[in-house]
Structure 1
């Protein structure tokens, strides 16, 4: 015994917390990848994005200002360095005093320190700008999460949210059946599992599909670990596309135990009078009526459980005669 299930059952959840504004689908709707499914209240996410963009703009202004400071520091350093070198040369020539050289050296060292501070200021401003950019990116992603889209094409199986509900990560809002086909999941007891192999074509009977022949499914997966309570293995059988077949239906997986020879005669060869069943058999002496006991019907032929041994010639009822 087993249950018809979708090959893939996808839980649709929110990735951010928010109030549900719209649920755009209902059970039975077919959706394509990228279609909008649920819309959440985006006002908080929009405000967060605006604040982060303002912070990014402020950080960009600080980078621009720090670069201006760096340019001025470079100019001051270049001037102080040139002056210091010139004063050193003049001191060697006994043109200026040592005190003047020391003054030029002090200005040079101060300009060098100022240049280092300006370079550090630019690096810090750039780091803040990069961080602000990441915050903007996160806010944009968060805003995008307020519209929940279908990741794969499929059919809506369950709707678990309505407008006004609070959505948050971990809470299922919708259930989608994806994968394109259905399968039967059946528990096969350990005494039969040796008869089932991957790729086997097995018959599946779904009682809800009245008047149809058994379905032919393909064994896609066999779990190699038995349930310790039931001593059975989970077998998944891919089913063909059949109108009226839906997930949740009850089904039976037919596992062949072996082969046997049986006697079959056309249904029209069996004459029933009350509970008695007879078949006309041709013998050397002519046609004789033989009592038989019948079994299952196989494609307009009935199984003879007793009364015939096989190989006899039987008569068919045609138009009320033989």
Structure 2
């Protein structure tokens, strides 16, 4: 009797196991997804990524300055009596910028004037006496020389007095003021700076290794923070000597007229460097998705997606800095509709 019960129990368990396996098999079948149909082959044109030798380009930071500028400094010592101009004020050539009070120089002018007046009076008296025979020609000659000397002393004193008034050397504007009224000035000490209206230039320190590639009169690309795109600046001047500490040479590049710039702005200048070998493809081979740049490469008859980094544009081509090797074939045009792995048919 026990044997029959055991057999029945085993049969029941086996049936349950078979039923469970069937249910699992059914659920697995329901969860399976059908393989999507293959994409149709795309008809495309291909171009070969070229490896070309190009002159290298080196970016150098420069500073924008007015083409015409002057630092106003006195030639005499004294107290700054007045600065009748403000920062940014437009001035005309000859306008008064700074007046210096120098009592000693003013006193010398008065003294020279008095000396000249006395010398002339003495000369006139002796000439009158000479006509009456009461003087000599030698005395008159000595007094004439004394008048000449006194006149020269007065002119010198007046020139020194003129140095107490500093005037604008050309039309422009006041770009900097270094001192205040009441301050003591000394010969050669900058008091203010004037910049002209003749335009702007970029001043840059060029490394010694690149200085030999500079060419006077040639155009160079410049970008400014306030200007869109690239500007073309002309190299107008290169210093004859190198800075010993930095091993650089100073160069000045004239910006085109009418450009929106301010003195002191930074500028990025591009000069030629050592040649380098780069990979280029037609611009139409590169597409952009957001911030990413990509190309499709023909690999074993199918489209292979590559993310790339591009550089300079070169007459319809574009430099590829990474992600592609010279000699690889890229899809030109219509690549936006391609998909990874899609079969390709090349136009003949």
Q: Taking structure 1 as reference, are residues 273 and 291 closer, same or farther at Cα in structure 2, changes over 3 Å only?
A: farther
What is the rounded CA distance, in whole Å, between the counterparts of 1:276 and 1:67 in structure 2?
Answer: 100
Specify which structure has the bigger relative contact order, considering alpha-carbon pairs within 8 angstroms and separated by 6 or more residues. Answer: 2
Shift of 1:39: 1.7
Counterpart of 1:143 (choices 134, 140, 161) is: 161
Aligned mate of 2:213, from 195, 202, 216 = 195
Task: Structure 1: give runs of 5+ residues left out of the alignment.
Answer: 74-113
Is the contact made by 1:31 and 1:155 (CA closer than 8 Å) also made in structure 2?
yes
- Aligned match for 1:40, one of 93, 97, 100: 100
Q: Secondary structure at the match of 1:140?
A: helix
Matched-pair contact (CA < 8 Å) for 1:158–1:174: yes
Match runs of 1:107-126 below 5 Å: 118-126=136-144
Distance 1:24 1:266, change over 3 A: farther
TM-score, scaled to structure 2: 0.64
Match of 1:315 in 2: 334
CA distance in structure 1 between the partners assigned to 2:215 and 2:177 by the alignment: 37
Tell me, yes or no, if the aligned pair for 2:297 and 2:331 is still in contact at 8 Å. no
**Bigger helix share:** 1
Q: C-alpha distance in 2, partners of 1:256/1:179? A: 31
- 3-state SS in 1 of match to 2:251: strand
C-alpha deviations, 1:50-71, integer Å up to 9, x for none? 3322222221111111112211
> 245, 251, 256: which one pairs with 2:267?
251
Q: Return the offset for 1:201.
A: 0.7
Match of 1:11 among 71, 82, 94: 71
Which 5+ residue runs of structure 2 have no aligned equivalent? 1-59, 338-348
Report the Cα distance in structure 1 between the residues aligned to 2:293 and 2:112, rounded to whole angstroms. 90
CA displacement 1:201-234 (0-9 Å, x = unmatched): 111233x33x611221111222343344444333
How many Å apart are 1:18 and its aligned residue? Answer: 2.7
Higher percent of residues as strand:
2
Q: Deviations over 1:243-278 (max 9, x none)?
A: 5522333333212344856213349x6264997945
Pairing 1:1-322 to 2, within 5 Å after superposition: 1-4=60-63, 5-41=65-101, 45-73=105-133, 118-178=136-196, 180-206=198-224, 208-209=225-226, 212-241=228-257, 244-257=260-273, 258=275, 262-266=280-284, 270=287, 272=289, 277=294, 279=296, 289-296=303-310, 306=324, 309=328, 312-315=331-334
Root-mean-square deviation (Å): 3.6
